[in-house]
Chain A
Amino acid sequence: MRTPLSAALSENENILRSVYADCSDAVFRRFAVGGQTSALLLYIEGLTNVEEIDRCVLAPLMLQTDQPPSGPPDQLANRQIPVSGTKPVADIAGVVEEVSIGNPVLLIDGQTGGMAFSLPKWEKRNLEEPKAEPTIRGSREGFLETLGDNMALIRRRIRSPRLKMRSMEIGRYSMTRVAVAYIDGLADPKLVDEVMRRLQKIDIDGILESGYVEELIEDHPWSPFPQVMSTERPDTAAAGLLEGRVAMLVDGTPFALVVPASLFTVLQSAEDYYQRFWISTAIRWLRYFFFVISLLLPSAYVAILTYHQEMLPTTLLLSVAISREEVPFPALVEALLMEITFEALREAGVRLPKQVGTAVSIVGALVIGEAAVSAGLVSAPMVMVVSLTGIASFTIPRYHAGFAFRLLRFPIILLAGTLGLLGIMLGIIAIVVHMCTIRSFGVPYLTPLSPARGSMLKDVLVRAPWWMLNTRPQPVGQLNPHRQSDNQRPGPDTGGEQR
C-alpha cells in the first residue's frame, strides 16, 4: 500500500481497481481534462457530495476545452477547481485513506501525485437533544456521529486557537478517525502524551464505538467503576477541556471520552453548573444521598429484618411481621428475586419499541407489584424497597456510572444476607478500599475527598457559586490554576440611591 503513485494513470488505476475489487460502491470516473489528458476521479458513492464533484471538479476540468488545463494536479487545483479543501496524495495508501473518508481523489495521467478534494457528504442525523443526558437548562445540542461535526461543536464553544485537536486513525479495518482535543496551556503535556501513547498502542480490527477505546485505555480494566467519563454533550466535553482534561472524539459515535475522570465527575450532571448554586447544592446532596440508598437500601432491609430486628421501632416491626407472614421466601431470597426482576424490567424497557414501552411499565408496576403482593409471593415492604432503590438509581445522571452501583448492589445484598449489618459494612469498606486503589490517568479516583484538596471540596460537597470557583480542580488543572479573577462576587453598586 505504500507504493507511490506512478505517473502512468493506467498503472495507478489497475492497482486501485485491485484494491477496490468487488467494491461496487467505489466509483472510477474516467474523463479527459480539457478533452485531452486522461484523468481519473475515484470516490465512494454515498460518502461524497456528487453534485459538488460534478459542478466544481468535473465541470471546470472537462468543459473548458478552449484553454485545456494541464499540469500537475496541484496546479490544476490552484487554478481551475473551486473547492476549498484540498490535500495532495502521494501513494496508494493516501488515496485509500482519502477516498474512505469521502474525499474524491483526482489522478492525472503523466503526473505523479494526486489531489484529494474535501467534499464529503453522507446521511446523518440532525442535531438533537442528547437522549442519554437531557437537561432542563442548557444547550440542547448533542454530539453526532460524524467526527467533523463533533469537532465543530466543540470548536464553537472554545473558539480560541489554543484548543488543539490531533487526529489519528485506529483500527485495521475500520480505520476509525479519532481526534484528541485539549487546550494548550491548560492540559498537562504529560497527560496529553500519555493519552496519545495509549491510543497509539491500540491494535484492533475495528473501533465501532468509543466504548472500545475506553476499555482499551483505562488504568484498571477489572474495576467495576468507570475511569473514563463519556458524554454526549459538547458543553460537558468543553467544560472538561477547560478544566485541563483531554477529550477524545471517535468517529461514528456521539459519545466523547474525557479523561481523567474521578468518581465525582461521573456523578455530576452538566446542569449542576447552569442552575444557581442553592438548587445545585441541594440537588447534589439529594443525589449523593440517593446514590447511597441505591446501593444500600435493599441490603439494609434484608440485614435488619434478618439479623437486627431490634433496630426497628416496635410498631413498624409488628406491621412488617404481619406482612411477611404469608411469604414463603426468606428475606434474602425475596430481595434478590425482586431486584433481579426489577433489573430485567429496566432492561426490557430500554430495548422495547416505544409503543410497547408504556404498556410494559404499567404492567410492571401495577400487575407485578400488586399481584405479587396479594398472591403472597413477596411482601409489600419489599416492593416499596425495590421501587425506592430503582428510583434512587435513576438519580445518577450518567447511565454508565450508575452501572457500577447497580452491579455492586447484589454482592452487598448477599453479604447482608449472610452477615447482617456487619456484612454491609465489610462490603462498604471493600468498595471504599477499592476506590482508593484506582487511579484514572494518574489521578486518584476519589479526589478531592482523598487525597483531600480543600479548594476542590467546595465544588464537590456543595456547589459553590461561580464567583467562588476561582481555581481549577486539581491535580488536572495544576498547570494553570487560576481560571477567573478573584472578587467576582456581584452585588449592587455601592453607589446607593440618589439622594
Chain B
Amino acid sequence: MPYNGKITPVQMAFLLHPTIVATALLLVPAMTERHAGRDMWLSPLWALMAGFATLLTAWALHKRFPDDTPIEYSERLVGKTAGKIIGVLFIFFYWHGSGSLLREYGEFVSGTFLMETPTEVIMGGMLIIAAYAVRGGIEVLGRCAQIMVPVVVVLFMTLILLVSRNLDPYKLLPMLEFGILPSLKGSIVPQSWFSEIIAAAFLLPSLTDRSKGLRWGVITLLFVAVILSLTNLTVLMLFGELAGRLVYPVMSAARYIEIADFLEHLEAIVMAIWVFGTFIKIVVFYFLLVQCTARVIGLSDWRPIVLPVGLLILISGIWTAPNLQQLVHALGTSIVFELLLIQLGIPLLLLAVALIRGKKGAPATAK
C-alpha cells in the first residue's frame, strides 16, 4: 500500500477523467480544427488509440508488480541506476507538466476574467489549496474528485443543452471531404493528451478492489473520448470553420448563449468547469510529483516536501513560457512528443524488458 490510503476504482476513474479532459476542453478544440477541419469530431475517437495503448501497458506492468509504482518497478526491471534515471525523468516530466498546467490555468483565468491580476497570484492561490489537498493523501484526493467531477460533468451537459438551439448540424457536412487523413492529423495532439492516463499506473496499487482497475480505466477513456467528441461537435455546429480562429472555442460558445433575454453570458459556467476540473488535474500531478520525488530520493515520509514542491511548481509555471501563444505553440508541437515519449514510450520500454525477462517480479513488499 504505497500511499497510506486506498481509493475505490470509481474514485480512480474520477481522478483520471479530469486529468485528461480538463485542459483538453479549452485549448485542444481550436488546435484540432486547424488540422482536421470539419472532421474534428472524429479526432478524439482516433486518439483513443494512444489512450488504450498506455492504459494496457500500465495494466500489464501493474499485474506484474501489483504493489509498486512505476518508480519502483523500473528499478527492478532495468537495474538501480537506470531505474533512478527513469525516476528522475518522471520527476522532470511531472514538474514541467504541472508547471505548464498551472500556467494554462493561470493564463486562461487571467486572459478572460481577471485581466489585471498578476498571473502569479492566480496560480499561487490555486497552488495553496492544492497543497492542502495533497497533504491529505490519496484518500482525500479520491473523495474530492468524487464530488467535483460529477458536478463538472453536469455543468458541461447543461452548457451543451443551453447552446443546442443555436447549433446547425449542416455545418458538419461534407464529412470526410478529404478522407480520414485530416481527422487523423488532428488527432495527434489529443493522442498525447490521452496518454496522460499513465497516471493510472501510479494509482492502481492503491485500489481497494484491484480487479476492477482495468474496467474503470477503460470506462474513463471511453467517457473522455465521448466528452471530447461532443465538445468538438458542438463547437463545430456552432461556429463552423470559425472555430479554428478562436482561442477558446468552448468559452466563446458559452458566451453565445442567450435565452429568454435572461440567461446570458454564462462564461462563468465554463470557468466553474475549468477551475474544478483543473484543480483535480493539478492535484493529481502535484501528488504524483511529490510521490516520484520522495521515492527517487528515498524519503520515508512524503508529507514534509509537499510545500516546497509546490513552490517549485509555481516557479516552473512562471518559467515555462513567456506568453500564452508560445505555450499553445509548444503544446501543439514539442510537448506532444514529450508527452508521448514519457507517458507511452517509457512504459512500453519497461513492458518490453519485463516480457523479455520473463515473469520477473514476485509480489512486492510495500514501501
Contacts and interface: CB of A to CB of B under 8 A. Distances in A.
Direct A–B contact present (CB less than 8 angstroms): yes
Contacts of B122: 419, 422
A308 interface: yes
Given A311-B268, A419-B114, A436-B140, A451 B275 contact: no
A423 B147 CA distance: 19
A430 B132 contact: yes
B142 A429 contact: no
B279 interface: yes
B233 interface: no
Contacts of A444: 139, 143
A308 B269 CA distance: 12
Contacts of B265: 308, 310-312
Q: How large is the interface on A (under 10, 10 to 19, 20 to 34, 35 or more residues)?
A: 20 to 34
A450 B268 contact: no
Interface in B132-186: 132-133, 136, 139-140, 142-144, 146-148
A426 B129 contact: yes
Contacts of B266: 311
B301 interface: no
Contact of A422 (B113, B139, B262): B113
B358 interface: no
Contact of A429 (B113, B264, B275): B275
B298 interface: no
B22 to A, nearest CB: 13
Contacts of A425: 271-272, 275-276
Contacts of A436: 133, 136, 140, 143-144, 147
A313 B129 contact: no
A308 B125 contact: no
B125 A426 contact: yes
A437 interface: yes
Nearest to B109: A422
B147 A446 contact: yes
Given A308-B113, A422-B113, A446-B147, A433 B262 contact: no
B176 to A, nearest CB: 39
> Which bracket fits the contact residues of B?
20 to 34
Given A422-B271, A430-B132, A450-B142, A307 B113 contact: yes
Given A308-B113, A449-B147, A450-B142, A430 B129 contact: yes
Contact of A437 (B129, B136, B271, B275): B136
Contacts of A308: 113, 265, 268
A425 B125 CA distance: 11
Interface of A: 307-308, 310-313, 315, 419-423, 425-426, 429-430, 432-434, 436-437, 444, 446, 449-452
30 contacts: A307-B113, A307-B114, A311-B265, A311-B266, A313-B261, A315-B261, A419-B114, A422-B113, A422-B125, A423-B125, A425-B275, A426-B129, A429-B148, A429-B279, A430-B132, A432-B148, A433-B136, A433-B144, A434-B132, A436-B140, A436-B147, A437-B136, A437-B140, A444-B143, A449-B147, A450-B11, A450-B144, A451-B8, A452-B10, A452-B146
Interface of B: 8, 10-11, 109, 113-114, 117, 122, 125-126, 129, 132-133, 136, 139-140, 142-144, 146-148, 261-262, 264-268, 271-272, 275-276, 279
